[in-house]
A and B are shown apart, each in its own frame.
Chain A
Amino acid sequence: MVELVGVTKTYPNGAGALRGVDLTVQDGEFVYLIGPSGAGKSSLLRLLYREERPTRGTVVVDGVNVGRLRPGQVAMYRRRIGVIFQDFRLLPQWSVYKNVAFALRVTGASPREIRRRVGPALDEVGLWHKRDVLATQLSGGEQQRVAIARAMVHRPRLLLADEPTGNLDPVAAREVHRILLDLNARGTTVIMATHASHLVDDVRRRVVALDAGRVVRDARAGGYAHGG
């Protein structure tokens, strides 16, 4: 599903975010990206959703060489992946329903298609009953669940989560984590950058540790492997 080969990312100011990263994620895997701040977790995710291009190396997602996508192709590529963030990135003045529907509306989906897809997406995160509530009136955990529904409404095969529990209390964090595990159990590949070691320790999943832009540990479920 995801293959990074010799990926280096250096920003224009000279700061190096990733250095020669090799990483393969199989279809249907759940991978935690861990590491201290500045280790390169978010940079790696940004390469995957094509916010950035690698300075060197190749990034292939679902058969697409992401680094070589032309600007006009980025939109179509992004409809194939879902992304969630620590700060939810919802439109606060809009209802829950409208926030999720927005992702479909801006891609030209028909009203019928929007109705058909938004319901199940909100059901999946247990928020259909709050569809008319404004995003600002929700708790942090609920807002993140709306963001997950929005990310999943295109039914992507890959979900990228950048510190999705970073702003949440432990109960909400566990709920969001559970939803991500459920999505993974139903076939979605999930790559989650996190600081929350207690969540990682709870489940036996693959853990990739980054430090100073390098993969310093790649611990697969049931065993450890070392990467460069």
Chain B
Amino acid sequence: MAARLLREMWTILTEGVVDFLRTPGIAVASVGTAAVALLLVGAYLVAATNIAHLSRTVSSQVDMRLFLSAGMRPKAERLLAARVRRVAGVRSVTFISKAEALAQLKREFAGNGAVEAVLAEGNPLLDSLDVRTASPAVSDRVARALGRLPGVAHLVYPGQTVARLGAVLTVVRWAGLVLASLLALSSFLVTSNAIRLAVLGRRREIEIMLLVGATRAMVRGPFLVEGMLLGALGGVVATVVTVVGYGAVARALTAAAPFLPIVPPAQVNARLAFDLVLGGVVLGWVGALFALRRLIRVASEA
């Protein structure tokens, strides 16, 4: 009995592969559409992973920078620094003159002609205080307290960046979801139609199968296998393109902006491959199941 079941499963599997190879044109179209849909999902996953990583990196930073009003006298600056030190949650305060800031900026952008040209015209920067808080958790409270101090022109702290990144992440998430859903729908329809055509092409065979006592699993199985194969191949194509594409983008970004916390491709590739291929399999399976609705009904009535 178990051997018979195994043979049935083997027959289902081989028939599914044969079905897939029988109509290469339709197979290529289905795989292509699934690949495009999954490629977008892949791009979304990469973008979301990086934004989340950036957000985590930034929020783990305890530094904030307080820019002082232009033209403040050194004494007033020292007084302000002393007041900042007394704010609860502040661990240390370091004064950075605008000259030091300019020197640091020049070091970071050495070789960047456009930036160097701007900096050569004069120092547009302000004196600032680098404030280190006791923990990221107190950053918001400390920032509010410091923002109210007279002489503070501008305040930059992780909470703002995290909030902005959160907003970007939300936009990316929704846009990705909408686009991926639309493409997944089109891929689902193409796969579903490919299976429907396969069913129509094998109508006679199915009729005979049912007549001689093939189980419904035996009739439907090959089509489900075919659908999953179409989706899985789409997933593989999407994985390859995403992995290669992300590798290139990550290399380029790391070279251009080494300070950006990019998630190393090696860290996401396996997860990407798993998600995209599994997504493809599910997409193909659901598409095939949809196409087989009628066949299932007919088979169950027979």
A residues with CB within 8 A of B:
49-51, 71-72, 74-79, 83, 89, 91, 102-103, 105-110, 150-151, 154
A107 touching B302 by the CB < 8 A rule? Answer: no
B302 touching A50 by the CB < 8 A rule? Answer: yes
Q: Does B53 contact A (CB under 8 A)?
A: no
A71 touching B3 by the CB < 8 A rule? Answer: no
A75 touching B215 by the CB < 8 A rule? Answer: yes
A71 touching B214 by the CB < 8 A rule? Answer: no
- In the assembled complex, the CB of B209 is this many whole angstroms from the nearest CB of chain A, namely 5
- In the assembled complex, the CB of A107 is this many whole angstroms from the nearest CB of chain B, namely 5
Q: How large is the interface on B (under 10, 10 to 19, 20 to 34, 35 or more residues)?
A: 20 to 34
A102 touching B211 by the CB < 8 A rule? Answer: no
Count of A-B contacts judged by CB separation below 8 Å: 68
Closest to B208 in A: A89
Q: Given the complex, which residues of A lie within 8 Å of B211, measured CB to CB?
A: 49, 78, 83, 89
Q: Does B8 contact A (CB under 8 A)?
A: yes
Q: Does B204 contact A (CB under 8 A)?
A: yes
A74 touching B212 by the CB < 8 A rule? Answer: no
Q: Given the complex, which residues of B lie within 8 Å of A108, measured CB to CB?
A: 4-5, 7-8, 11, 218
Known: A107-B214, A150-B212. A71 touches B204 (CB 8 A): no
> Which B1-56 residues have a C-beta within 8 angstroms of A?
3-5, 7-8, 11
Report the 5 A-B pairs with minimum CB-CB distance, sorted nearest first: A79-B213, A106-B214, A108-B8, A71-B300, A103-B212
Q: Does B207 contact A (CB under 8 A)?
A: yes
* Distance between Cα atoms of A74 and B216 in the complex (Å): 9
Q: Does B169 contact A (CB under 8 A)?
A: no
Known: A91-B204, A91-B205. A107 touches B301 (CB 8 A): no
Closest to B10 in A: A108
* Distance between Cα atoms of A78 and B4 in the complex (Å): 17
- In the assembled complex, the CB of B12 is this many whole angstroms from the nearest CB of chain A, namely 10
Q: Does B250 contact A (CB under 8 A)?
A: no
Q: Does B282 contact A (CB under 8 A)?
A: no
